[in-house]
């Protein structure tokens, strides 16, 4: 049985082989959040475009500044002012944050460090050349590539595009992810379930996870635990870029997903992973499309999506597979778990001073959605650790949607 790292690697390897060139679309910066860039973005000029003052204060020639002595203030420069004249010897100019520093000035003295006596500006201390000035071109030179294909566009990347005037961006289209739940007991979320029926919550968590990962969900509904119904709906799912099924992959008599996929020509790369929850997770390729069969217990579905489906969506978006959002935390309570499986337990991480401390939540196992809704992370217990003591360092995977 593969470890979760090996299983992730398999997904990355196999989907990576098949990713090909992606369809692209041109999107305004206002609408491109979370998309993957499919072009280069270059600066339209140098940044900053002029020597920029980073403080409100006085532009000076640092050699002329003597502690306790003064210089005559010859005027002021506001942000946006055209600056063409050099600083005259023996004078200073009042200057604002974001304004251009004139030629012959090589420092800005903060307003907090002077005393104004009429026309005279008296300095408390010496000035260092370059202080409080960002030189022209020091952030980027003209025509420099600042964003490259494959980068995911977050708020900083979009601000950078806006700064250089790249207001329309060629991006990869979001991969379409078919979501198909399975199970005779499953009803629509707006139906009233019979006493032994269950609402289709997995389609909701999966659609949300697909969106967060940068894909576009195509929710196909639910297939009964019957070969014909499964076959028909899987066929539809294979028209999208990826197919994600929930349920029907365990050892039960009515767990038919794998056999139906096999009959449709699927090649499997794993059908079990040494994890809990989520051990029966299946990954294969069917008719050229990556297919994931995730165990139906809701927390298993969520965990296995994060571990295995997210990297596939990344690759199909033209990005690199993201690393898991792992951080190290200190365990708040001793724990024991079964050897041989990596456990992903609903937990809360809290920052105590600068030290993240994590505590597993009480839960009833992988059907317990309420426990996960109280969690802000998964506590990772390695497969070779039977017990972990209080205060030991452990890994947690942050739930980036709520942290």
Residues making contact with ligand AMP (CB under 6 A): 181, 183, 185-186, 198, 200-203, 246-248, 250, 252, 255, 295-298, 367
The option from Mg ion, ligand AMP, none interacting with 135 (CB < 5 to 8 A, set by class) reads none
| 318 belongs to the binding site for Mg ion (CB under 5 A) | no
Does position 183 interact with Mg ion (CB under 5 A)? The reply is: yes
Question: Based on CB atoms, which residue is closest to Mg ion, 248 or 280?
Answer: 248
202 is in the binding site of which of Mg ion, ligand AMP, none (Cβ under 5 to 8 A by kind)? Answer: ligand AMP
Give residues 202-241 in contact with Mg ion (rule: CB under 5 A): none
In contact, 270 and 7? CB cutoff 8 Å: yes
Give the binding-site size for Mg ion (rule: CB under 5 A): 4
Residue with smallest beta-carbon separation from ligand AMP: 296
In the bound complex, what is the minimum distance in angstroms from residue 202's beta carbon to ligand AMP?
Answer: 3
Residue 399 zone, left/alpha/beta (φ > 0; ψ -120 to 50; rest): beta
The CB-of-242 to Mg ion minimum distance in angstroms stands at 21
Q: Report how far residue 53's alpha carbon sits from residue 84's, in angstroms, rounded to the nearest whole number.
A: 15
Smallest separation, CB 295 to ligand AMP (Å):
5
Q: Distance between CA atoms of 235 and 171, rounded to whole angstroms?
A: 29
Q: 106 vs 255, which CB is nearer to ligand AMP?
A: 255
Select 65 or 256, whichever has its Cβ closest to Mg ion. 256
* Residue (of 49, 104, 105) closest to 79 by Cα position: 49
State in angstroms the smallest separation of the CB of 280 from ligand AMP.
7
Torsion of the alpha carbons at 7, 12, 15 and 19, rounded to the nearest 10: 170
DSSP letters along 197-248, please? -EE-HHHHHHHHHHHHHT-EEEEEEEE-SSHHHHHHHHHHHTTSSEEEEES-
- The number of C-alpha atoms within 13 Å of 132 and in the hemisphere containing its C-beta is 27
> What is the C-alpha separation between 320 and 318, in angstroms, rounded?
7
Smaller CB distance to ligand AMP: residue 29 or 219? Answer: 219
- For Mg ion, give the closer residue by CB, 248 or 278: 248
CB of 180 to Mg ion, least distance (A): 12
116, two tokens: 């104004």
* Residue 49 binding result from ligand AMP, Mg ion, none, given CB thresholds of 5 to 8 Å by partner type: none
- In whole angstroms, the minimum distance from the beta carbon of 96 to ligand AMP comes to 59
- Residue 247 is a binding residue for Mg ion (CB under 5 A): yes
Q: What is the DSSP letter of 137?
A: T
Q: Cβ closer to ligand AMP: 77 or 230? A: 230
Q: 297 is in the binding site of which of ligand AMP, Mg ion, none (Cβ under 5 to 8 A by kind)? A: ligand AMP
Helices (H), 61-108: none
Return the HEC string of 331-385.
ECCCEECCCCCEEEEEEEEEEECCEEEEEECCCCCCCCHHHHHHCCEEEEECCCC
Among the listed ranges 136-144, 203-211, 242-250, 258-266, the one in contact with Mg ion (CB under 5 A) is: 242-250
Tell which positions 291-310 bind Mg ion, by CB under 5 A.
296
Between residues 91 and 297, which has the closer beta carbon with respect to ligand AMP? 297
Please report how close the Cβ of residue 291 comes to Mg ion at its closest, in angstroms: 17
The DSSP 8-state label assigned to residue 152 in this structure reads B
Residue number, 53 or 181, with CB nearest to ligand AMP: 181
The residue (of 61 and 301) whose beta carbon lies closer to ligand AMP is: 301
In whole angstroms, how close is the CB of 364 to ligand AMP at the nearest point?
12
Comparing CB distances to ligand AMP, the nearer of 167 and 188 is 188
With 0-12 / 13-18 / 19 or more C-beta atoms within 10 angstroms meaning exposed / middle / buried, residue 129 is: exposed
250 binds, among ligand AMP, Mg ion, none (CB under 5 to 8 A by kind): ligand AMP
CB of 300 to ligand AMP, least distance (A): 7
Using alpha carbons, select from 362, 318, 292 the residue that is nearest to residue 23.
Answer: 318
98 backbone dihedrals φ, ψ, rounded to 5°: 90, -5
For residue 189, give Cα distances in angstroms to 43, 176, 184, 192, 370: 49, 22, 14, 8, 17
Q: Give the nearest distance from C-beta 224 to Mg ion in angstroms.
A: 10
Residues at the site binding Mg ion, with contacts judged by CB under 5 A: 183, 247-248, 296
């Amino acid at each position: 049985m593969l470890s979760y790292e090996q299983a992730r690697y398999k997904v990355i390897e196999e989907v990576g082989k098949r990713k090909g060139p992606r369809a692209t679309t041109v999107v305004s910066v206002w609408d491109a959040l979370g998309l993957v860039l499919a072009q280069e973005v270059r600066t339209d000029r140098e940044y900053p475009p002029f020597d920029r003052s980073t403080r409100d204060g006085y532009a000076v020639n640092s050699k002329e500044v003597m502690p306790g002595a003064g210089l005559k203030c010859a005027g002021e420069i506001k942000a946006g002012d055209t600056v063409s004249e050099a600083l005259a010897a023996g004078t200073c100019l009042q200057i604002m944050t974001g304004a251009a520093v004139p030629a012959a000035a090589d420092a800005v003295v903060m307003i907090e460090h002077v005393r104004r006596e009429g026309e005279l500006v008296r300095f408390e201390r010496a000035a260092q050349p370059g202080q409080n000035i960002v030189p022209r071109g020091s952030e980027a030179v003209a025509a420099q590539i600042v964003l490259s294909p494959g980068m995911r566009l977050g708020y900083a990347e979009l601000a950078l595009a806006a700064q250089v005037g790249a207001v329309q961006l060629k991006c990869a289209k979001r991969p379409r992810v078919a979501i198909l739940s399975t199970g005779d007991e499953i009803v629509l979320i707006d139906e009233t379930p019979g006493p032994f029926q269950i609402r289709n919550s997995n389609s909701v968590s999966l659609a949300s996870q697909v969106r967060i990962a940068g894909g576009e969900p195509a929710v196909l509904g639910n297939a009964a635990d019957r070969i014909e119904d499964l076959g028909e709906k899987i066929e539809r799912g294979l028209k999208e870029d990826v197919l994600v099924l929930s349920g029907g992959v365990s050892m039960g008599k009515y767990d038919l997903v794998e056999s139906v996929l096999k009959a449709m020509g699927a090649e499997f790369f794993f059908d079990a992973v040494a994890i809990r929850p989520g051990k029966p997770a299946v990954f294969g390729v069917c008719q050229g499309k990556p297919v994931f069969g995730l165990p139906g217990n809701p927390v298993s579905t969520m965990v296995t999506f994060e571990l295995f489906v997210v990297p596939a969506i990344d690759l199909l978006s033209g990005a690199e597979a993201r690393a898991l959002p792992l951080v190290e935390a200190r365990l708040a309570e001793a724990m024991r778990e079964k050897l041989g499986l990596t456990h992903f337990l609903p937990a809360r991480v809290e920052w105590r001073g600068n030290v993240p401390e994590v505590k597993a939540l009480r839960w009833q196992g992988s059907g317990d959605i309420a426990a996960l809704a109280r969690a802000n992370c998964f506590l990772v217990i390695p497969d070779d650790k039977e017990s972990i003591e209080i205060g030991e360092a452990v890994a947690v995977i942050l739930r980036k949607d709520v942290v």
